[in-house]
Amino acid sequence: MTRRLSIIVVEKDRDRAVMIVDGLREAGDHDVLVIADELGLARRISERNPDLVLIDAGNPSRDAIEELTLASAPLQRPVAMFVDESDGALTQAAIEAGVSAYVVAGLSANRIKPVLDAAIARFHLMQKMRVELAETRRALEERKVIDRAKGIVMRAKGIGEDEAYALMRKAAMDQGRKLAEVAQALVTAAELLK
């Protein structure tokens, strides 16, 4: 029976932290701690002395953790950045997923891999959700603009809703532009002419 790994997850956002922790639970029975407050981060990590630290690659606090990778740092067991590990493909996958992992030197690769695979999967999922959320927002915005433009055309030409919509769609097709772009142009022009 192998010893449980001690893992620290640095994540401010509670929902994201929960998601990562859930992912890690699936990878095995590990001791996972989430640190949300980044003040004094390096000190708190070195007090805990974990086997593995996971942090979003976009988090500026990565620089504070780097300090712990130096032999002269107070940490008893030096941690090394994952890029140090021999498994280049896994490192690349981690970086692409936006996760930075700091691993205690000497921890065998077969113990790290499942944990990191789980973390990478979670980070991909979070990225996908972020993209989807942005997409949904954009679609909603476009809908609003199209509705406003439709109202402008209806009033200006004294026509019905379906007819106004058909007119805008035709203009978009004729000009090889997106309906949302034509609608935005109409709204902008109407603002100017107010």
Partner 1 sequence: MTVTLRLGFLPLVDAAPLIVAEAMGFAEEEGLALDLVAAPSWSASRDLLSIGEVTAAQMLAPVPVALALGLGSPARFEVLSVLNLNGNAIGVSTALAARMRDHDFALSDARDAGLALLAAAGQRLRIGVPFAFSMHNELVRYWLEGLGQTLPESLEIVTVPPPLMPDALAAGEVDAFCVGEPRGSVAVERGAGVLLLPTSAIWAAAPEKVLAARAGWAEQDPELAGRLIRALWRAGRWLGQGANLTVAGEVLAARLGVSAEVVERSLTGRLVIAADGAERVVPGFLRFDGGAAGFPWRSQAAWIGARLARRHGLDAMQAQTVAAQVFRSDIYRLHLGPAGADLPAASAKVEGSLAEPTPVASSRGRLILPPDRFYDAQVFDPGLAG
Q: Which residues bind partner 1 (CB under 8 A)?
A: 38-40, 42-43, 57-67, 69-72, 81, 83-84, 92, 95, 100
At closest approach, how far in Å is the CB of 157 from partner 1?
Answer: 42
Q: What is the Cα 134 distance to its own chain's centre?
A: 11
At closest approach, how far in Å is the CB of 194 from partner 1?
Answer: 30
Of 72 and 110, CB closest to partner 1: 72
Of 91 and 163, CB closest to partner 1: 91
Of 49 and 59, CB closest to partner 1: 59
Whole-number Cα distances in Å, 98 to 6, 21, 54, 76: 21, 16, 10, 28
Contact 129, 121 (CB under 8 A): no
CA–CA dist 114, 24 (Å, integer): 9
At closest approach, how far in Å is the CB of 176 from partner 1?
Answer: 26
At closest approach, how far in Å is the CB of 38 from partner 1?
Answer: 6
Question: Going edge to edge, which strands form the sheet with 6-10?
Answer: 31-35, 6-10, 52-56, 99-104, 79-81
The partner residues of 35 in beta bridges, in order of sequence, read: 10
Of 89 and 192, CB closest to partner 1: 89
